[in-house]
Amino acid sequence: MKKLPFIQRLRESPAGVLAPFESRRPFRLWMTGSFAVVMAAMIPLRDVSEAEREHTMRVLRHSRFGVTETVQRIEAAARIQGLSVLALMPGARPVLVLESSVGGTPILMDDADSRPAMPLSVMVREGARGGADVLVTAAAVAHPPQRWQDLPAAVRDDLDALPGLVDRALA
């Protein structure tokens, strides 16, 4: 029996719900300026195993600069672009959470039991061969911001511009 093309594009969530991958929307998506909410989303991310981090984070870019200088460059590039820093969790793998140009940062959850993700944030870790790796949440890659109609257009633009912002920071 021949499978229909759309069947091959279905994705099953942990809750067992099937949805077309191209049209799958986050389970929950909201904007916040609350430092407490950001910290609640950020702290579990820092303590996950390397295997789980590979599942929840994706390398966006490699930097020839060290971790500290990479973070400083991304902060400066964000400010030039009109974004501010909502939170910076220092450490061996600092996490930088940016606030959109209209205020607040988006938080999303793929499923009812998933961890909150912050697509307008980056984690910076030491690179395997020197320099640093800049990582973003896998949810930011899996859900293109243009489909998030619940967000203001300016916030979707800020999310779309994040890779270019990082490129300018690392140039």
DSSP code, position 119: T
CA torsion through residues 43, 46, 51, 56, sign: positive
Q: What is the domain range of residue 131? A: 27-170
Cβ atoms within 10 Å of 68's Cβ, excluding its own:
12
pLDDT digits (tens, 9 = 90+) for 88-114: 999 899 999 999 999 999 888 877 877
Domain assignment present for 5: no
CB-neighbour burial class of residue 30 (10 A; exposed 0-12, middle 13-18, buried 19+): middle
Task: Identify the H or E element spanning 87.
Answer: strand 84-89
Domain assignment present for 22: no
Task: Return the CATH number at 82.
Answer: 3.30.310
Tell me if residue 66 falls in helix, strand or coil. coil
Q: How many domains does the chain have?
A: 1
pLDDT digits (tens, 9 = 90+) for 21-50: 444 566 777 788 877 777 777 766 656 666
Confidence of residue 145 (pLDDT cuts 50, 70, 90): low
